[in-house]
Amino acid sequence: MAIRPESRWWLVTLVLVGGLFGLSALALDRPNVVWRQAGAACPSCGSDARPGTRRCAQCREEYDWVVAPQDIAPASPYALAPLEAAWVKERVQALGEEAAAARVAEALGLAPTAAQGWLRAMDTGLCGWCGGTGQEPALAGAAAPAAEAKATDTACSTCRGRKRCISCDRGHKVRLGDTEAAASLARMDAAFADFRPVVTLEVQRAEVARLNAEFLERHAGAVEAQALLLPSEWQGVGRSGQAQPLVVRARSRLDRALEALGRP
């Protein structure tokens, strides 16, 4: 079918506009930042890329920032590793569940039933503090069953009831390059700076716990989760104070249990 002369200009205009859109799309399709063991790098010149940036500081080429792939992301040092989990199962089978739970109860200062639940649930990538039950384990000395039940109804003070290790979120790998997690941690530090001496320590600790829970709701498994602090040890002096990271406390409980199970 012949094209009428007055329509040719419309056709030429459409072709030109389509070509411009295509060129724009190609310009916006920037290469992704390259992740290596040492960190993120510019895809053009290979120089280090600062977290969250879009342009190389060396060659000035633009790129898209992406989270590190799983094969680059490191394993969490705070969760039970697969080989450790397999060893625990072997030891429980060799010792017998009751004897193994008794060792864990003594080493961790837990009530016998709490130690048994902790040991049964514990596995790769789960929270080391609660063992993966999602509940705060009852301490030794909870004489009455009702008292022990009340204690174990409380959500775990580390994972907030999520059951998974806050460092790897059960994936055993730590997520690197999550710019939203980094921004959330920065906002948390800014909130710490707003704490004033007139605010009681109890109120400050409650706010630290709230901020922890808010962070984990969105960013569990990001490397920044390793910086979350234990509210009960908060001294009102900011991140540089005496409060220990939650992941360090949880790993300490795991290590004590492994040591107890490994005794002859």
Please provide residue 246's backbone torsions phi and psi, each rounded to the nearest 5 degrees: -60, -40
Mean pLDDT (the chain) is 87
| Residue 153 banded pLDDT, cuts 50, 70, 90 | low
Residue 81 is which amino acid?
A: A
The Cα-based distances of 161 to 5, 158, 164, 237, 260 in angstroms read 72, 8, 8, 27, 26
Q: pLDDT tens across 184-213, in order? A: 999 999 998 888 878 899 999 999 999 999
Using a pLDDT cut of 90, give the percent of the chain over it. 72
- Asked whether the predicted pLDDT for residue 239 surpasses 90, the reply is no
150 pLDDT band, cuts 50/70/90, is very low
Indicate the SS3 state at residue 55. Answer: strand
Statement: residue 102 has pLDDT above 60: yes
pLDDT at site 147? 39
pLDDT score, position 5: 55
More confident residue, 227 or 19: 227
Rounded distance between C-alpha atoms, residue 29 and residue 249, angstroms = 44
pLDDT digits (tens, 9 = 90+) for 28-71: 578 999 998 878 999 999 999 998 899 999 999 999 999 999 88
Question: DSSP secondary structure string, 199-252?
Answer: S-HHHHHHHHHHHHHHHHHHHTTBGGGGG-B-GGG--SS-TTSSPPBHHHHHHH
Looking at the predicted structure, is the pLDDT value of residue 151 above 50? Answer: no
What would the two tokens of residue 66 be? 């992406």
For the chain, the structural domain boundaries read 82-166+253-259, 179-245
Q: What percent of the chain has pLDDT over 70?
A: 85
Judge contact between 224 and 184, C-beta under 8 A. yes
Q: Which stretches of 6-136 are assigned E, i.e. beta strand?
A: 34-36, 39-41
List b or e across 36-66, with b for residues whose CB sees 16 or more CB atoms inside 10 angstroms. Answer: eeebbbbbeeeeebeeebeebeeeeebbebe
